[in-house]
Every structure is written in structure tokens, then in C-alpha cells.
């Protein structure tokens, strides 16, 4: 049983500090004292700052170099290696764990 007025005041102070560019630690501590959940706390910060999503997939810088001499050399080496092995090269990307951390494995 938490004091909802204290929760709302703490979240409002957190939001104001974030909007103003002030130190968010003091209002974060007040949020903890008021019983604000980490979900409520992070939702306020996401609303103010947005959510960072790391880029995944093919790097844009490399995508622009599809027909570069360096990429031609990579293709040649992959083809030659495939010929030596007697089959095309394959790449398996494993994603251990189900905790939401992909470490860039998704495409």
C-alpha cells in the first residue's frame, strides 16, 4: 500500500528534472522512497528522452560499398573457399539465452 499522491509527485519531479536537463538522481531517489516501480520510473524517462535502439543488420557504410574492390575480394575468397570445400559457405548465427539481449544477432 503506497501513497499514490507521493508516487505522482515523485514522478512529476522526475519528469521536470529530465525535461530541464537537471540531475535526475535526487528525484529518482524520491521515486524509490515513494514506491515508484522501475517500470513507472523508466516510462517517464522514455517519454522525455525517447528509447535508443541500436542499429542491426547490414551496416549502412558497408551497404554503400557493395561494388567496391574490397567487397569483390571478399566475394572471390568466399567463392574459392566454397570450391575448396566442395559446397557453398554457410553461416549460423546463434543467439544464446532468452533474456532479451541479442548482442546484434537478429537480422
Structure confidence by residue, pLDDT tens digits, 8-56: 999 999 999 999 999 999 999 999 999 999 999 999 999 999 998 776 6
Q: Which residue has the cell 517517464?
A: 44
The C-alpha atoms of residue 57 and residue 16 are separated, in whole angstroms, by: 36
Has residue 107 got a pLDDT over 90? no
Residue 93 has pLDDT above 90, yes or no: no
Q: Compute CA distances 96 → 24, 31, 53, 55, whole Å.
A: 34, 35, 20, 20
Nearest 5 degrees, angle CA 38-CA 43-CA 46?
Answer: 125
In the predicted model, what is the mean pLDDT of the chain? Answer: 86
pLDDT at 13: 98
14 within 8 A of 41, measured Cβ to Cβ: yes
Q: Indicate if the alpha-carbon torsion angle 59, 63, 69, 73 is positive or negative.
A: positive
- pLDDT given at position 42: 96
Amino acid at each position: 500500500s503506497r501513497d499514490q499522491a507521493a508516487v505522482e509527485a515523485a514522478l512529476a519531479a522526475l519528469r521536470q528534472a529530465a525535461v530541464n536537463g537537471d540531475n535526475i538522481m535526487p528525484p529518482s531517489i524520491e521515486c524509490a522512497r515513494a514506491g515508484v516501480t522501475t517500470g513507472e520510473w523508466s516510462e517517464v524517462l522514455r517519454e522525455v528522452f525517447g528509447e535508443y535502439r541500436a542499429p542491426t543488420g547490414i551496416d549502412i557504410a558497408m551497404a554503400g560499398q557493395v561494388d567496391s574492390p574490397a567487397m569483390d575480394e571478399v566475394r572471390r575468397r568466399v567463392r574459392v573457399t566454397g570450391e575448396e570445400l566442395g559446397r557453398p559457405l554457410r553461416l549460423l548465427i546463434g543467439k544464446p539465452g532468452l533474456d532479451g539481449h541479442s548482442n546484434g544477432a537478429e537480422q
